Amino acid sequence: MSRIVAVRVKHPGTHEQHITDFKTATDNIIPKTSMIVYIESWGGVYYTSVDGKRANLIVVEGPDGIPYVKTEADDTTVNNLLNLPRF
C-alpha cells in the first residue's frame, strides 16, 4: 500500500481545484488517469494518513459522468485529498 502525501491541482487558489497528480510518500508522481486505473484494478492500494486518521482512495463517477478520485468518507476532513499539501 502507498500513502499519498500531496496533490497537484489544475487551478490552484480557485474553487475549481481538480486534482491532476498525486505524490506518494516515496516521491513517486502518479497522474490522475493512472491512479484511476490502479484503484479500479487493485482496490485500496492508496491511502492518506493525517494525524492518525487514515482514508483509502476510491474512484467515483462525477455528475458529468467522468470518474475522479476521492477519499472514503469518515469522521474528519483532515485526511481529504484537497486538504493535503500541494506540490
Average pLDDT of span 51-63: 96
* pTM of the shown model: 0.93
pLDDT band at 12 (very low <50, low <70, confident <90, very high): confident
Domain coordinates in residue numbering, the chain: 2-83
Q: How far is CA 8 from CA 26, 74, 75, in A?
A: 16, 23, 24
Please tell me the least confidently modeled range out of 9-18, 43-52, 65-74.
Answer: 9-18
Residue 15 has pLDDT above 80, yes or no: no
Tell me the pLDDT of the chain averaged across its residues. 95
pLDDT band at 26 (very low <50, low <70, confident <90, very high): very high
- Counting residues of the chain whose pLDDT is more than 90, the rounded percentage is 89
Half-sphere exposure of 22 toward its Cβ, with a 13 Å CA cutoff? 26
Q: Where are the alpha helices (DSSP H) in the chain?
A: 32-42
Cβ neighbors of 45 (< 8 A, separation 6 or more) are 1, 2, 38, 39
